[in-house]
Every structure is written in C-alpha cells, then in structure tokens.
Amino acid sequence: MPLCAAEVLFAAEELQFLGAHAEQQGRPGQKYLGSAVALVTHLGGYRALKQEPAPGNRVMWEGYYGLTPATMRHMISRQADGCRDQRGTTAVQAQFTATR
C-alpha cells in the first residue's frame, strides 16, 4: 500500500467525505494514498472478502465515479446541519415546506 499522502490524488473535500465514510464503516482512515484508494474501491463495491480477488479497474472506476456525488451530498448535509433554526429545521427544509 503506498505511503504517500492522500492529498496527491484527492481534493480536501473528497478526503473529508472519505474520512466520514471510513468512520461510519469502521475502516482505517484516509491519511495515506493506499487507504484512501481502498475506501474508493469500497464505494465501487469491493468488500475485501478472503475469496474475492484484488479490485480491478472497473471497481476503482465505479468507486471514483461515485465519489464526487457522495462528496457533494456530504458537503451539503454538513452545511445544512449548521443552518438549523430554533425548531431544528434546516434552510432547505424550510424552503421546501414553504413551496408546498
């Protein structure tokens, strides 16, 4: 597993999402490039079972393809959590309710 910094390949926002994903899945963090790539393969469907071969190009592509939308959702949810009113309603929820 490469021991260079994950910032070589991934943006800061992507690393924030990968860190949250790793914590949620109980996996090692994304400090190094190898562990961040392993998290991307997990997003692509690789489960690292004993009988499963090493992940290939397709699994890596599918994981990286899903990384951008997952990162965007993560960023939006973090912003929405910081924008709650006294009732606990986010600005997005309030806008949706107002348009109904």
Q: Round to whole Å and give the CA distance between 89 and 83.
A: 8
Q: What is the mean pLDDT of residues 10-20?
A: 92
- For residue 3, which of 35, 41, 39, 38 has the smallest C-alpha distance? 35
Please indicate whether residue 62 or residue 31 has the higher confidence score (pLDDT). 62
**pTM, rounded to two decimals:** 0.73
6-99 CATH fold: Transferase Inhibitor Protein From Tn5; Chain A, domain2 (1.10.740)
CB 93 within 8 A of CB 83: no
CB 30 within 8 A of CB 19: yes
Q: What is the mean pLDDT of residues 63-74?
A: 92
- Domain residue ranges of the chain, discontinuous segments joined by +: 6-99
69, pLDDT greater than 60? yes
